[in-house]
Structure 1
Amino acid sequence: MFFLDSYNQVLIKISSLFRAGNRSSETEGKLFKNTTDLVKLTRSCFFEIKSADAAAEVVGDKNVVAVGVFPKLSGAEFDSFMATAEKLRSDYDFAHTSDAKLLPRGESVTGPVVRLFKPFDELFVDFRDFVGEALEKFVKESSIPLITVFDSDPNNHPYVLKFFEIPNTKVTLPSCYDQFMMYYKDANILTESLKSKYREVAASNKGHGLSFLLGDAENSQEALQHYGVEQRQLPLIILQTVDDKKYLKTNVEADQIESWINDFKDGKVSPYKKSQPIPSENNEPVKVVVAESLDEMVFNSGKNGELHYKSCLSSMLHGVDTAKTLFQSWTKLLSHYQSDPSVVVAKFDATANDFPHDTFDVKGFPTIYLRSANGNIVLYKGDRTKEDITSFIDKNKDTAGETKTEEKTTKGVKDEL
């Protein structure tokens, strides 16, 4: 997400695109990274290579292009290739030919086969499975390097973008992808043995739902900040799954990489959670909740002694003065709840702490949720006045001895939304 700004790429949004009089639903509302991508979408993907010069121009030295080789330009395999080319044309280049001898790299084949050319790794790879989504999966997986490099070289930027787009396209992929990221501080720290082992592990996990990236700390500052990582922890490995769970291995050494990845796959590594320190004292009227205390003070408050049957009002606060000032005014308005043992008012900095996005739908700051003693979670959508807030709390909180039908957390949130 932040990489787009770093690379100063232009985003072009179109409501729809028409080709041959037909509206293309795949492009409706699509964001294009530059005008080249938009032009690519409007030209035909049915380009036939008929000469060596044309093949050299299409493939080039820095292009990623999938070329279909067919003994005749018809049949089930050819139709499958053309359908895939049509579907992926906005992000990938395609061409086809009936003469593999015209192609600049690789042995001559009669086909049907798809030869994907790329300026990295093995330079080209052949693929012969045209059934279902297999071809689409092959094009997407083979179009990024075994290890994507995130640095200041503009030639690497398109691959970085594709690397981070892969989890967002999981609906079109047959398997889930993880982002596996290693950041290095300088050449003295990231030794050749570390890089060699990292590539070895990446190769052994190819096609197993893991994609690998190598980035330097200088050009990864925003990413490091996002994950709450400090320079002193480098070199490190951050693994983020498609369901937003994070796993961290700091000060990693070459001989630790493979075993750590295997432990992760075996479920032996605990998720990493970005969190502020738990306050040593938490005696103010408005309690401070951090990621490490979220379960104890919010989700499990009904089972915790001093929080038993208490409703926790959690405000997801952005670290800006306006939000803090606003919350201070709420503190005064809610001061009368200090004597009410059934209510706990708490604040939570969502920029410095991880929180479950499937439970709290935070689209702006401040966001207020109330969790009742029996587990109902309700989003507050009223005005920021004492009357409205207190009315909201009194309406949704549970009191000691009161019995209510418990609803699932997701239902409580959906009902309010």
Structure 2
Amino acid sequence: MHNVQKLAFGLLAAAAVASASDVHQLKKDNFDEFVKANDIVLAEFFAPWCGHCKALAPEYEEAATTLKEKDIKLVKVDCTEETELCQQHGVEGYPTLKVFRGLDNVSPYKGQRKAAAITSYMIKQSLPAVSSVTKDSLEEFKKADKVVLVAYLDAADKTSTEVFSKVAEKLRDNYPFGSSTDAELAEAEGVKAPAIVLYKSFDEGKSVFSEKFDAEAIEKFAKTASTPLIGEVGPDTYSDYMAAGIPLAYIFAETPEERTELSNAIKPVAEAQRGVINFATIDAAAYGAHAGNLNLKADKFPAFAIQDTVKNQKYPFDQEQKITLDSIKAFVDDFVAGKVEPSIKSEPIPESNDGPVTVVVAKNYNDIVLDDNKDVLIEFYAPWCGHCKALAPKYEELGALYANSEFKDKVVIAKVDATANDVPDEIQGFPTIKLYPAGAKDKAVTYSGSRTVEDLIKFIAENGKYKAEVAEKAEESAAPSATETTSTAAAEETHDEL
């Protein structure tokens, strides 16, 4: 009996440990006090029914445990119970994450929703823009993140110090920054002031900037040197590659061994094009469907393609050719020289296009969407997307309202299957809705409100050239919040989307 009691006690103790959380759940009566008592706090405003909140929960818990030793607190607020508190902090969708440095210094969380990303982001937020580094603290500072930058400066060189501080303030969300005026330490690190060493946990371990200190040049150096020579495309890195401003070369392969082998084979090409093209492998077993988005066959690997991330143009390498150093070098060199034509995937232009919602394909995209005389609201959708299917009848109703109004020749309600047609925009979730105003096609506005006819009408009226507002025929029930149903909607479908 004694052993049974010991076993039961042990199980209860284990359950208590398992249920313990390092995330503090706060309410209106203790939120302000908690925030004031801590130097930096990350707060998640959530709803129990929110799918994205449920997906975030284990990542948030893991980050909270890791950050506990750094004395960085993670908290959560249930907005279905604390409606007043959530309204007070401007919460419009779930989850909303905000960084608090007291109650008067609040900023939105701008990182990915993964444990490692949350941890990295919050450590950078907790540090001063530039930390003072000594010979005793340098090795520890190098471990603060996967990439850190340390400036070795002359104490009398105020100009270089100011330039570095300016860059650090601007990029503090991206990297930890340190500085030292110890000439012996600089010499030990192989540099002479003024210089910057970017330490990294991959590739060659560090990169050195020894040119004249110029903010733009330092930013470019940091961006290029902090990107792995051949990285990996996945849910955590995809958006960073898309925002890098330079083309991305994908190496598709189904096994880690094959990805390593191909990376090693074409490494000289990646080195020659560093800062011009990013190179990355991608797991074809998990994300092979993405090959189709690059106009490759999604069932024939290994494969290689380049994507112009700015214009969203695709350049697939002939899948009948073998991927070798020579073949890829020739292809990449031709791409850089402008000798490779982009591949354009398009459905046929519809024979009849007089419905309430205009059907756009790649071949008529410019003629319709970029018509400078019309405000064009366009939905980028995927046939398998559940949210798109739910929106369809309301979108048809919206189209009919404008088609039967005084604005029928000034406002176009359109849609495009973004999985079957190449479009200039890189679409990261479905549905994505954008308004291209007449006379300002380079200033498209992305819609982030509730998907109701009423709110879409307001959006067109507020952002279009013609301020076109039409009367709704019937009232609608409110749709789920924008944060819950936008961009990451693809994750709720049974597709491996990046």
Q: TM > 0.5 between the two?
A: yes
Match of 2:127 among 22, 39, 43: 43
Counterparts in 2 of 1:222 and 1:44: CA distance versus 1, 3 Å: farther
Distance 1:243 1:195 in 2: 26
Aligned residues of 2:288 and 2:298 also touching (Cα < 8 A): no
Cα distance change of structure 1 residues 382 and 181 upon mapping to structure 2, 3 Å threshold: farther
Is residue 258 of structure 1 aligned with residue 329 of structure 2?
A: yes
Corresponding residue for 1:268? Answer: 339
* Aligned equivalents of 2:144, 2:367: Cα separation in 1: 58
The one of 107, 113, 123 equivalent to 2:195 is 113
Q: Of 289, 294, 308, which residue of structure 1 is paired with 2:364?
A: 294
Measure the CA separation in 1 of the matches of 2:297 and 2:56.
20
| Alignment partner, residue 198 of structure 1 | 266
Structure 1 distance, partners of 2:169, 2:139, is 22
RMSD: 4.8
The one-letter code sitting in structure 2 at the alignment partner of 1:249 is F
- For 1:133, what is the secondary structure of its paired residue? helix
How far apart in 2 are the matches of 1:317 and 1:163?
21
Determine the C-alpha separation between the residues in 1 that align with 2:370 and 2:129: 56
3-state SS of the aligned residue for 1:67?
strand
Once the two structures are TM-superposed, the CA of residue 92 in structure 1 deviates from its matched residue by 0.5
Alpha-carbon distance in 2 for matches of 1:91, 1:334: 44
Q: Residue 180 of structure 1 aligns to a residue in which SS?
A: strand
Distance 1:128 1:380, change over 3 A: same
Listed as ranges, the matches of 1:313-332 within 5 Å are: 316=379, 318=381, 319=383, 320-325=388-393
1:72 aligns to 2:155 (yes or no)? yes
Aligned residue in 1 for 2:39: none
Alpha carbons 1:47, 1:95 under 8 Å: kept: yes
With over 3 angstroms needed to count, the CA separation of the structure-2 counterparts of 1:351 and 1:72, relative to structure 1, is same
Contact 1:68–1:113 at 8 Å: present in 2 too? yes
Partner of 1:389: none
Are the aligned partners of 1:184 and 1:217 in contact in 2 as well (CA < 8 Å)?
A: yes
What amino acid does structure 2 have at the position aligned with 1:126?
A: V
The residue aligned with 1:249 is 317
Query: 1:216/1:282 Cα in 2 relative to 1: closer, same or farther (>3 Å)?
Result: same
Does the CA contact (< 8 Å) of 2:146 and 2:201 recur in 1?
yes
Unpaired runs of at least 5, structure 2: 1-51, 61-94, 113-117, 426-435, 458-464, 474-498
Does the 8 A contact of 1:148 with 1:214 survive in 2? yes
Per-residue deviation, residues 56-101 of structure 1 (Å, max 9, x unmatched):
2111396321111124364222222222222222220111223365
Aligned length: 335
Alignment correspondent of 1:63: 146
Report the secondary structure of 1:270's partner residue: coil
Match 1:163 to one of 227, 230, 241: 241
Displacement of 1:213: 1.7
Counterpart residue number, 2:210: 128
Q: CA deviation at 1:117?
A: 1.0
Secondary structure of the structure 2 residue equivalent to 1:31: coil
Quick check: 1:212 aligned with 2:295?
Answer: no
Report 1:374-413 matches (<5 A).
382=470
What residue identity is the alignment partner of 2:299?
R
Q: Secondary structure at the match of 2:173?
A: coil
Task: Give percent identity, aligned residues only.
Answer: 21
Kept in 2, the 8 Å contact 1:64–1:118? The answer is yes
- Matching residue of 2:172: 89
Give the alignment of 1:216-231 within 5 angstroms. 216-220=283-287, 223-224=290-291, 226-227=293-294, 229-231=296-298
Larger relative contact order, structure 1 or 2 (CA cutoff 8 Å, min sep 6): 2
Distance 2:423 2:390 in 1: 22
Rounded to whole Å, the distance in 1 between the matches of 2:96 and 2:277 is 30
Quick one: structure 1 residues 137 and 378, their matched pair in 2 at CA, closer, same or farther if it must change by over 3 Å? same
The letter for the 1-side match of 2:252 is Y
